Amino acid sequence: MNINDLMSKKVICASLPGNRTEVLRLLVTQNKTGVPVIKEDKTLAGFVTRQDIYAKPDEEQLALVMRGDYPSLSPKDPIEKAADLLLEEDLHHLPIVQRKRVVGIITPADFLGVIEKMKLDIPVEDFVRTPCVPVHKGSPISVVDTLFRVANVVASPVLDDDGSLIGIVTDRDIFNLSDVDGHTAVADLGIGEDEDSWTWEGLRNVMKLYYEVKHIKLPAVPVNDVMVKNPTTIFRKTSISEAAALMRKNDFGQLPIRDSKDRLFAMIYELDTLVALTR
């Protein structure tokens, strides 16, 4: 199977010369976490993600925020090559180019259906590669935000006083409980020209930047108030194909894993499942 069979052919791109505000508008209105950047001649110039913007919150020029040496592949390349590259570079987006022009994009989520159909019996515990960093239900969300940044993770299992799994929290959930008005945030970031052009789901992609730029402190509330309660979980001996099917059907980016004693064992992410295609 080639990349052309899996990739998304409708690609939202940012253009050079451009600025941060234009990218933010794309991320919010299109509910994206990253987009390819193209030159005036429509050829690929690089890629920009919300993490790139967070890393340089005071930089306005897109050329200085984006990653210019971003890898790409051809639609004729096998999907295994794309899986290898995503894993090797720890990427969540891969632009697909033909004659240097962007013709598609592929993400780890696009592979889940393939891994599901492979009917592999290999247990999911063999595919865990990303650190699992649990937090206590009473941890302030400001602490969780710092933990995400330092540990370089985007989600954490939440435990109660007995160490039992009771929830899961992502880097977007911690901005759900906020006194910030969405319309105000959109206006202050300069990305709202039309009141109907954005959704809160899309705005959550960049709320972290809004807090940093406006020097707003996260409210003093525990992670218990913003987490997803009673999350779907899998057991360590669940097959990787079953895990991929569960992720695909429910649009999960990650799944907590339990052991035979019902204790938290690890967390598996979409990107981790791609190892199934590289064996």
Quick check: 197 pLDDT over 60? no
Which range is least confidently modeled, 65-69, 188-192, 259-263? Answer: 188-192
Query: Which of the residue ranges 212-216, 245-249, 262-266 has the most confident prediction, judged by mean pLDDT?
Result: 245-249
How many angstroms from the chain centroid is the CA of residue 243?
Answer: 18
Give ranges for CATH 3.10.580.10 in the chain: 3-106, 124-174+221-277
Quick check: 116 pLDDT over 90? yes
Quick check: 96 pLDDT over 70? yes
Q: Identify any residues that bridge with 191 across adjacent strands, giving them in sequence order.
A: none
Q: Which pLDDT does position 53 carry in this prediction?
A: 84
**How many residues in total does the chain contain?**
279
Query: Which of the residue ranges 18-27, 29-38, 157-166, 167-176 has the most confident prediction, judged by mean pLDDT?
Result: 157-166
Q: Quick one: average pLDDT of 218-232? A: 90
Q: Quick one: average pLDDT of 70-98? A: 96
Give the pair of three-digit tokens for residue 101.
């022009």
Annotation: CATH topology of 3-106: CBS-domain (3.10.580)
Name the pLDDT band for 43 (thresholds 50, 70, 90): very high
Q: How far apart are CA 187 and CA 238, in angstroms?
A: 46
> Which CATH number does 124-174+221-277 carry?
3.10.580.10
| Among 167, 168, 171, 166, residue whose Cα is nearest residue 145 | 171
Handedness of CA 113, 115, 118, 121 (dihedral sign): negative
Q: Quick one: average pLDDT of 190-212? A: 58
Which range is least confidently modeled, 91-95, 132-136, 213-217, 245-249? Answer: 213-217
| Among 207, 222, 215, residue whose Cα is nearest residue 141 | 222
Quick check: 177 pLDDT over 60? no
Q: Which pLDDT does position 27 carry in this prediction?
A: 82
